[in-house]
Every structure is written in C-alpha cells, then in structure tokens.
Amino acid sequence: MSKHLLEVKNLRIEFPTRRGLLTAIDDVSFHIDEGEVLGVVGESGAGKSLTGAAIIGLLEPPGRVAGGEIIMNGRRIDNLGYEEMRKIRGREIGAIFQDPLTSLNPLYTVGRQLTETIMTHTDMTPTKARERAIELLTEVGIPAPEKRVDQYPHQFSGGMRQRVVIALALCVNPKLVVADEPTTALDVSIQAQIIALLKKLCRDHGTAVMLVTHDMGVIAETADRVAVMYAGRIAEVGPVRQVVKQAKHPYTEGLMGSIPMIGHTGEKLQQIEGSMPRLTNIPTGCAFNPRCPKAFDRCFKERPNTIDVDGTEVACWLYDKEAAHV
C-alpha cells in the first residue's frame, strides 16, 4: 500500500440542529500525496471549505466529525485534543484563508505575527526569527521587507496582505497547506500573481496543497488532481486534465459547460437546471438525481459507489452499467 501524506477516509461531518441532525459531509474519502496539489471544487454549500476546516481541526461547533478518519503522515489527527492539534497546525499543516484582512491580527505588526508563529514551532531566538520573517517576506515578493516587517496589516494592500498570509502559512515549512479560496477576494491581475506565487513556493518547498476554490480556471492552472464536490459528497476525483477535458460525472460536465469562455461568444451557456439541494433535504440515491439529465431508476434508489474509469474515480451509476455491459 502506498503511503499518502494525507488520507481522509469516509469522513462524515454532522451539525446537530433544532430540526434534527444535518449531515454536511457524507462519506468523503480522498488522499493527497507529498508535493501534490489537490484542487477541491464545488459550488457554495458543497462542503469543500468544511472538509478543509476538518483537516486543520478548526471545525466550528456544533459541527463535529461524526465518522471516518483523517490520517496525516500515518498518524490519526481527527481525534486529537486542542493542544496536540495546535502543535500540528502551523508545524505540519499550514492554512491560507479567503480574506487576508480577517486572517491577520490588525493590532500586531506583520513581523510580530510571523515571529510569533516561527517561535511557537521552532526554538529560534527572537533575533533569528525576525531575520527569518524578513527572509520570508522577501520570498513572497514584498518590496522593502525590512521596512514592511514593522508595519500593520492595514498598511498593506489586499494582494500584499495575502502574500503575508502565504508567508505565515509557509513559515515553518509545513508538509501540507490548506488554502481555502486564497484568491477569491482579490482582483484578477492580483489573483494571477498570487496563484503564480503559491505554485512556485510549493514547488520549491515540496509542500502539498489542498486548494479549495469554486473557480475551475484556478484549478485547471494549479492542481495536479481535482476532487469535485456536490452536496457534501465527492462526485469525481481524478487527474486535472481528465476532469477538465473529459468530465465523467454529469455534474462536472454541466459545471464545465456553464463556464463562459473567451472565444465562445454568441452561444448559449449550458446550464444545470435547478439548484443544489438543501442539506436537510438531500434526495435518496444520488444527490444529483433531480438535476441530472441522465438519471435512471437506480440513481433514485441507491447511492452510487465510486467507480474507477480510466484513473478517475466517479460516483455515478452510469459507469457501473457500462462496466456490466463490457
């Protein structure tokens, strides 16, 4: 059995609510290898951010991991206590969030936040840590880092702040970075800069990335493999080229068709009718069945297994039928 850096097995996340139990993530399994970029796409409410939060142990109560395992480097991390998890977070798993303004403390200088993180996880002296902080700021492309290190987050622009957050996530060389919509709050030209930076740094450091985003374009450019999520389940996981070019799952197909592309003016966009079901109201069988143009009897009765089709794992009965025919 090959050893994966991170393995998520049958993860199930539940939220107890007044109106009963809400299953936000239902039986999700995937893995990330060392140095690999796994893209996780899906529409809002698909559970992609929640999966990321569970991995870094920042699931907000009352949400809880109700089943399954998260294994990092051969060690189970989903049942660790707060203090133990705190040591892993930052040291082994770094995090980058969507809004750089809320993920930096406005009352501390950028340098203090960096040195604090570095000193928590290593035994560097304050002077050494400060040098390292300046080095990191240089690495993420912040001009005049010696001056900038003593400034506060509000003195940075959005793109620069996100660079600081990246520096913060990478400051003690974690093995894995969970990046939750790292470019969504940024302008297009800045987005391109940040993606290029993230790609370069992770390549240089050999860091694996779980890149959570709703933007298929960002995934296509950055990821090695993609997991497509729908209503708290995985629809399809496979190499990025295959998923983007020859989507197997009808949902992925619809999603790809609905993205407007340069050079395709005048045509009508393909659209998926309806919207994602509410989590309280997920249909039996395949969660996508009410919107699926190819749904048949079995889709309404049984939840599809993941089926391996040319290296892509697809949760769709269409492919089981085909396999039976051959």
- Which spans of this chain sit near other proteins (rule: CB under 8 A)? 43-44, 157, 159-160, 187-193, 195-196, 214-218, 220-221, 240-241, 244-245, 254-265, 268-273, 275
- Decide whether 275 or 305 has the Cβ nearer to other proteins: 275
- Decide whether 276 or 318 has the Cβ nearer to other proteins: 276
Q: From start to end of 139-267, where are the E strands? A: 176-180, 208-213, 225-230, 233-239
- Token output for 35: 């140095």
Minimum Å gap between C-beta 93 and other proteins is 26
Rounded to 5 degrees, φ, ψ at 40 are: -120, 115
Say how far apart CA 238 and CA 244 lie, in whole Å.
Answer: 10
Minimum Å gap between C-beta 186 and other proteins is 9
Rg over alpha carbons for the chain, rounded to the nearest Å, is: 21
- Decide whether 19 or 264 has the Cβ nearer to other proteins: 264
- Asked whether 218 and 191 are in contact (CB, 8 A), the reply is yes
- Decide whether 100 or 254 has the Cβ nearer to other proteins: 254
User: In a 3-state reduction of DSSP, which class is residue 249?
Assistant: coil
Minimum Å gap between C-beta 89 and other proteins is 29
- Token output for 102: 């809320």
| Rounded alpha-carbon distances, angstroms, from residue 46 to 257, 276, 303 | 19, 8, 17
Minimum Å gap between C-beta 108 and other proteins is 23
Find tokens 């960096």 and name the residue: 114
Minimum Å gap between C-beta 221 and other proteins is 5
- Decide whether 122 or 151 has the Cβ nearer to other proteins: 151
- Decide whether 8 or 286 has the Cβ nearer to other proteins: 286
| Pairing of β 20-32 and β 6-17 | antiparallel
- Asked whether 229 and 42 are in contact (CB, 8 A), the reply is yes
**Dihedral angle sign, alpha carbons of residues 221, 222, 223, 229:** negative
- Decide whether 43 or 320 has the Cβ nearer to other proteins: 43
Minimum Å gap between C-beta 258 and other proteins is 3
| Torsion of the alpha carbons at 127, 132, 134 and 138, rounded to the nearest 10 | 160
Say how far apart CA 205 and CA 166 lie, in whole Å.
Answer: 13
- Decide whether 269 or 323 has the Cβ nearer to other proteins: 269
Burial of 263 (0-12, 13-18, 19+ CB in 10 A): exposed
Minimum Å gap between C-beta 223 and other proteins is 11
